[in-house]
Copies of this chain bind each other. A is one copy, B any other.
């Protein structure tokens, strides 16, 4: 049996020294990796552990640690493994950034792009209600990326504006690359009701063809415990109160599903 686990958070570069990172520690992913490695009744041959730069590392035989930087880096390494190795289950606990840096600009640059647009096209063109917003969006962010993100942003610039764009949904790639692999998705929300959490987790399961989804909320994660709901395709769920319970619960369910295939 081969398992692929993603854990921790991705990091998107702003320039040579600054990154936007996710504060995920990788502790849950690490606990899951150890729970697979330590289940001797159903031995795991190999665990591919793809994790963020600052993530906690599980130490056990048969765990291969692969460090991940950006979302793009994650996609490349995930594709590499899923197209060359047979993987029985993918536990995708990594906090993948929804956004990456599109352009770096300044407030003044945005404003002068708009001023140029209005003076070139005349106020009446700019005031067409139907098209105004769309035109402004396009023009406001043209001619940007002049800060030289290849190097380090000068600290002399007064007003930096970071324009972000969406990243591809990594979870959606997994079953396309390896349809037979069991997929466990993760959903982390902040301060929502358990009903909303279960509904959102279940929607993730349906949308990405997951076999299980672990839904959790920041308010249920602290020094003492980690509340998680492990949702099944029939929308029933198990409730866990610690990382260790979640890890063992996922391993048990993954083994049960794989044994029934």
Q: Does A136 contact B (CB under 8 A)?
A: yes
> Could you tell me the distance in whole angstroms from the C-beta of A150 to the nearest C-beta in chain B?
9
Per the 8 Å Cβ criterion, residues 9-23 of A in contact with B are 9, 11, 14, 16-23
Digitize A177-195: 1 where CB-to-B-CB distance is under 8 Å, 0 elsewhere: 0000000000011110000
Return the CB mask of A18-38 against B: 1 if under 8 Å, else 0: 111111100000000000000
Please provide the chain A residues from 113 to 132 with a CB less than 8 Å away from any CB of chain B in the complex.
114-115, 118-119, 123-124, 126-127, 132
Is A110 a contact of B140 with CB atoms below 8 Å?
A: yes
The residues of B that contact A19 with a CB separation of less than 8 Å are 20-21, 23
Q: Is the CB of A161 within 8 A of B159?
A: no
Please state if A99 and B160 are interface contacts (CB–CB under 8 Å). Answer: yes
**Contact for A24 among B14, B17, B151, B162, CB less than 8 A:** B17
In residues 73-97 of chain A, which contact B (Cβ within 8 Å)?
95, 97
Residues of B within 8 A of A188 (CB): 17, 152
Chain B residues within an 8 Å CB radius of A107: 137, 140-141, 163
Chain A residues close to B by CB (< 8 Å): 9, 11, 14, 16-24, 54, 95, 97-99, 107-108, 110-112, 114-115, 118-119, 123-124, 126-127, 132-134, 136-137, 140-141, 151-153, 155, 158-166, 188-191, 218
User: Which residues of B have CB within 8 Å of A155?
Assistant: 98
A14 vs B98: C-alpha distance when bound (angstroms): 13
Using Cβ atoms and an 8 Å threshold, which residues of chain B touch A24? Answer: 17
A-B contact pairs, 20 of them (CB 8 A): A11-B21, A16-B218, A17-B95, A17-B190, A18-B23, A19-B21, A54-B54, A98-B155, A99-B160, A108-B137, A111-B132, A111-B133, A111-B136, A114-B114, A118-B118, A118-B127, A123-B124, A152-B188, A152-B218, A159-B163
Chain B residue with the shortest CB-CB distance to A151: B190
Complex Cα spacing A54 to B112, Å: 39
Contact yes or no, B136 A115, CB < 8 A = yes
